[in-house]
């Protein structure tokens, strides 16, 4: 066995979140290693890349909405820095999102969402069926109503990811293929990691950014992350026109989205939500439902080529909000559980973890998302969170306490998902 190597920080997971964190940390002058895991299995490559703090709002409230909005406000600057650093396009597309309703029940649901957005002061424009089709002529004439949201964009997650990998390489991040099986610690402090092949890295700081697999690393406190399977399709319009806007739809009670790319050669259609553990199989039923609903909303999709079917695992948490920052094991920093919002939350997660490593505290907007919100001794008999934290177990010289505003309420989403 060779002697262990050492790094200031070891990032576990080479997806969007892990790579962005590694890149940003490396820019602070630290030596950074990313243990990539199996990149082809990561949700980062499967996601559609909607950046939708507003139209996702039914599923996000309070602190999570603020986090989502903080991230989209950082997006353009983050992408500009990334494209400069990588020399690659990062795929940001600042066209509006159009949410539409297929039948009268769907229209009622959309109207309720619009009223809710009004109460939150979020900007959206109600549209008639005819107005919807003037924005997007490919929409089915049976569409009842719509909601135009100028602030909900998209980002081609594969381009974004490739740019992040390139930028991190150029900055000097070391990529190590493989899997971290164990976080090692001494006296309650992280001392290193052990990979599946026996390789060891010594480090005082480990960032756990391996998405749905976060609960599978040994030597950490229990992390309540579970895989939420999503099936997703990629269509190629070939000789037909693609939609120009991101389309979200409620159609006969089902939710479907269609996200076009600037290339004109890809429209991502998603996504099913299934709680099945790690089952990587594409089912006939999943593909059928997505094709059916896409066709209901945008009939031209029947002519598109079905170019890819894939499966990803959203990292779900008990409240569907991410788990960010320190935990009871000193030096172990968490950046997982992003569920449906991993692409959206990439910039704010990278800046929050960098802020934490640099200054010892999480930024205010991220401070409600620490693991300790799930600690049983923080739950009142009614299940709500109480004051108190795990912060006094952290080493103040490295990781200062974060504030603890109210955590976002638990959500049970039975509808189709977003990533």
Q: How far is CA 112 from the centre of its chain?
A: 25
Go through 6-36 and write b for each residue having 16 or more CB atoms within 10 A of its CB, e for each that does not: ebbbbbbbbbbbbbbbbbbbbbeebbbbbbb
Stretch near a copy of itself under the rule CB under 8 A, chosen from 25-33, 115-123, 131-139, 288-296:
288-296
Cβ proximity of 139 and 133 under 8 Å: yes
User: Which residue in 88, 108, 174, 282 binds a copy of itself (CB under 8 A)?
Assistant: 282
Please give the backbone phi and psi of residue 186, each rounded to the nearest 5 degrees, phi first: -135, 130
Q: Which is nearer to a copy of itself, 185 or 283 (CB)?
A: 283
Q: Does 191 bind a copy of itself (CB under 8 A)?
A: no
Q: How far is the CB of 95 from a copy of itself (least distance, A)?
A: 22
Residues whose CB falls within 8 Å of the CB of residue 135, separated by 6 or more in sequence, listed in order:
96, 98, 127, 146, 148, 245
Closest CA to 215 of 384, 336, 386, 134: 336
User: Which residue in 159, 194, 195, 294 binds a copy of itself (CB under 8 A)?
Assistant: 294
Q: How far is the CB of 306 from a copy of itself (least distance, A)?
A: 5
Q: Which is nearer to a copy of itself, 284 or 380 (CB)?
A: 284
Tell how strand 323-326 and strand 254-260 pair up.
unpaired
Q: How far is the CB of 263 from a copy of itself (least distance, A)?
A: 17
Q: Which is nearer to a copy of itself, 187 or 281 (CB)?
A: 281
Q: How far is CA 240 from CA 136, 309, 386, in A?
A: 14, 20, 55
User: Which residue in 114, 233, 323, 390 binds a copy of itself (CB under 8 A)?
Assistant: 233
Show the tokens assigned to 286.
């999943």
Is the dihedral angle over the CA atoms 29, 35, 37, 40 positive or is it negative? positive
Stretch near a copy of itself under the rule CB under 8 A, chosen from 90-98, 114-122, 147-155, 281-289:
281-289
Q: Total binding residues for a copy of itself by CB under 8 A?
A: 21
Q: Which is nearer to a copy of itself, 76 or 238 (CB)?
A: 238
User: Which residue in 38, 118, 303, 406 binds a copy of itself (CB under 8 A)?
Assistant: 303
Q: Which residues bind a copy of itself (CB under 8 A)?
A: 233, 235, 238, 281-285, 287-288, 291-292, 294-295, 301-306, 309
């Amino acid at each position: 066995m060779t002697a262990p190597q050492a790094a200031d920080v070891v990032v576990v997971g080479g997806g969007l979140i892990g790579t962005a964190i590694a890149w940003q940390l490396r820019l602070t002058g630290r030596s950074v290693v990313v243990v990539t895991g199996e990149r082809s299995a990561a949700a980062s490559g499967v996601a559609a890349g909607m950046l939708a703090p507003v139209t996702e709002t039914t599923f996000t409230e309070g602190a999570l909405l603020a986090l989502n909005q903080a991230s989209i406000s950082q997006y353009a600057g983050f992408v500009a820095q990334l494209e400069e650093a990588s020399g690659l396009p990062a795929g940001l597309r600042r066209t509006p999102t159009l949410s539409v309703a297929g039948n009268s029940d769907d229209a009622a649901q959309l109207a309720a969402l619009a009223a809710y957005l009004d109460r939150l002061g979020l900007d959206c424009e109600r549209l008639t069926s005819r107005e919807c089709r003037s924005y997007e002529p490919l929409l089915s004439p049976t569409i009842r109503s719509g909601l135009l949201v100028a602030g909900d964009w998209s980002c081609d997650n594969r381009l974004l990811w490739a740019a992040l990998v390139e930028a991190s390489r150029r900055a000097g991040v070391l990529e190590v293929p493989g899997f971290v099986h164990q976080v090692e610690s001494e006296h309650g402090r992280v001392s290193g990691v052990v990979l599946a092949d026996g390789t060891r890295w010594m480090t005082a700081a480990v960032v756990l950014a391996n998405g749905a697999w976060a609960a599978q690393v040994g030597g950490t406190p229990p992390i309540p992350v579970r895989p939420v399977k999503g099936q997703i399709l990629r269509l190629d319009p070939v000789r037909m026109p693609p939609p120009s806007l991101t389309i979200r739809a409620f159609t006969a009670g089902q939710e479907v989205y269609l996200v076009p790319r600037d290339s004109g050669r890809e429209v991502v259609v998603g996504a099913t939500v299934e709680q099945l553990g790690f089952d990587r199989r594409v089912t006939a039923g999943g593909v059928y439902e997505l094709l059916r609903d896409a066709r209901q909303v945008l009939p031209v999709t029947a002519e598109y080529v079905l170019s890819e079917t894939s499966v990803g695992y959203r990292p779900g948490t008990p409240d569907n909000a991410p788990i960010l920052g320190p935990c009871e094991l000193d030096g172990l920093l968490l950046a997982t559980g992003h569920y449906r919002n991993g692409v959206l939350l990439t910039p704010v997660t990278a800046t929050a973890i960098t802020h934490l490593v640099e200054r010892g505290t999480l930024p205010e907007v991220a401070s409600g998302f620490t693991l300790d919100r799930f600690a049983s001794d923080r739950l009142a008999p009614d299940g709500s969170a109480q004051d108190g934290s795990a912060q006094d177990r952290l080493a103040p010289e490295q990781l200062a306490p974060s504030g603890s505003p109210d955590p976002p309420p638990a959500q049970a989403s039975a509808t189709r998902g977003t990533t």
